[in-house]
Amino acid sequence: MSLSITGATEGQLQIHLSTKQKQYAVPDVPYSIRANVGSKELNVLLNTLLSDAGCTLTEKVDFDFLLNGEFVKIPLGQHLKEREISFEDTIDIEYVERYPAPEPQDCLLHDDWVSAVQAKEGWILTGCYDNTVNLWNTKGKHKLTIPGHVGPVKGVAWITLNDKTGVFASASHDQNVMLWEWNVAANSVECVYVCKGHERGVGCVAVNPSKTQMGTGSMDTMLKIWSTDVHEEKNEPSASKKAKLEQENVRTPIITLAGHREFVSGVQWMDNSTVATSSWDHTIKIWDLSLGGIKAEFSGNKSFFDLSYSPLNGMIVTASPDKNLRLYDPRSKYATFVKNTYLGHTQWVQTCRWSTTNEYLFVSGAYDNQVKMWDYRSPKAPIYELIGHEDKVLACDWSNPQYILSGGSDNAVRVFKSKICGSSN
């Protein structure tokens, strides 16, 4: 059997259609189509085949199409020519159900630029240029404004959260990282420790998978690792200086790692003993904490403003001022080579974050006021644009799978609701 979508004068292709989503499987036979068809025509064909196969769809399903692991975004013949794939061979095309579009839900207004944001369950932490940390719920209600820093707050990170207490960290241009304990019932917060050691502003903070340590990156070019324990037993002071430190609830780093030459702009934990950092010095470094040194290094031709690591796929995505995002695979023997470059922003890309439940998806924010959602298999264009910011986007987050968050210099956090499931949907 062969089904045709052909014209008299156009080149033809033989294709095989397959999917991992078994509910949408069609007969495994060759189909003859015109070379100039795109995803629109392939969708018509696929929905017709599903209908003919007796698949009871309540409404038309939209699909995306992959060839050799890359989305087809242009006419099929053009896609093949650009990749020098022969028209003579039968072309294997995989199809997947198109992801639902994120829906705008809320706008959380602040008094100054929002430079940090992270969600955990039903709560959102934000860091602001007015030196405050703010706590919101995902329904858009403001719960707390937390003063304490004396410089813009550039990083926030949840450590633990339960019905009674939440513990989180904030990093600031004032050179300090603060550890906070929030009493949920009383809605009161206390600074338990001030982490001192950086000699210039701190730009990023991240917590390890076991929630026992955090890493910070600073303009002093250092990566520092700290304990996140807010209830550890305090040792008896052995000297007057130590007594003074304890009295002030000051914490010092467990380890300081030198190696970058400029601002450490991003920090991510790959596992409990491996940290990845990005820097304005044009490098990504991977640190082995058990050895206390650099395990691997990638160099770019531009500064790196941010990075995000996905434990689902083992890859790193980076943001840079040349308007591009780049994908690296640190496990590959070609790890130092860029696996893909993502084009779509028109200004500096400031921030990027992987989905925590879908191995293919990440979001980015840039100085073009745009937040974009990407599938790493589709480098030429984002799959969605999340519109709303009226000024530069400074931070984004997708820690809670249901909410895509972004903060900007329009003093706002934009909240988008996401209905995207995991990779296998």
**Torsion sign (Cα): 241, 168, 422, 103:** negative
Give the model's pLDDT for residue 5.
46
3-state secondary structure of 50: helix
For domain 103-228+248-417, the question of CATH label 1.20.1260.10 is answered with no
pTM strictly above 0.85: yes
Specify whether the CB–CB gap between 236 and 242 falls below 8 A. no
What's the CA gap between 303 and 206, in Å, rounded? 20
In angstroms, what CA-CA distances link 195 with 142, 162, 192, 248? 27, 24, 10, 11
What's the CA gap between 162 and 265, in Å, rounded? 30
The length of the chain is 425
What's the CA gap between 307 and 314, in Å, rounded? 13
**Torsion sign (Cα): 367, 368, 373, 378:** negative
60 CB-near residues (< 8 Å, 6+ apart):
47
Give the model's pLDDT for residue 231.
86
pLDDT digits (tens, 9 = 90+) for 326-383: 999 998 877 678 999 999 999 999 999 999 999 999 999 999 999 999 999 999 889 9
Return residue ranges of the chain for CATH 3.10.20.90.
Answer: 12-97
Which uninterrupted H or E stretch holds 244?
Answer: helix 240-247
Return residue ranges of the chain for CATH 2.130.10.10.
Answer: 103-228+248-417
Give the model's pLDDT for residue 239.
54
Specify whether the CB–CB gap between 278 and 264 falls below 8 A. yes
**What CATH code is assigned to 12-97?**
3.10.20.90
If you ran DSSP here, which 8-state letter would residue 80 be given?
H
Bridge partners (DSSP) listed for residue 296: 286
Give the E-state strand segments of 4-90 in sequence order. 4-5, 12-18, 31-34, 63-67, 70-71
What's the CA gap between 108 and 138, in Å, rounded? 10
What's the CA gap between 285 and 304, in Å, rounded? 11
From 100, 133, 136, select the one nearest 120 (Cα to Cα): 136
Specify whether the CB–CB gap between 318 and 340 falls below 8 A. no
Which uninterrupted H or E stretch holds 277?
Answer: strand 274-279
If you ran DSSP here, which 8-state letter would residue 111 be given?
S
Give the model's pLDDT for residue 52.
87
Give the model's pLDDT for residue 25.
92
What's the CA gap between 294 and 264, in Å, rounded? 14
Which uninterrupted H or E stretch holds 45?
Answer: helix 39-52
Specify whether the CB–CB gap between 413 and 114 falls below 8 A. yes
Give the model's pLDDT for residue 187.
97
Q: What angle do CA 243, 249, 255 make, to 5 degrees?
A: 90
Question: What is the C-alpha radius of gyration for the chain, rounded to an integer number of angstroms?
Answer: 24
Give the model's pLDDT for residue 54.
81
3-state secondary structure of 24: helix
Give the model's pLDDT for residue 245.
52
What's the CA gap between 72 and 93, in Å, rounded? 9
Give the model's pLDDT for residue 303.
97
Average pLDDT of each block of 10 consecutive residues along the chain (425 residues)? Answer: 44 92 91 92 93 80 92 91 90 94 96 98 98 97 98 98 97 98 97 98 98 98 97 60 64 98 98 98 97 94 97 97 96 82 96 97 98 94 95 98 98 96 54
3-state secondary structure of 271: strand
Query: Tokens 């130092």 — which residue?
Result: 336
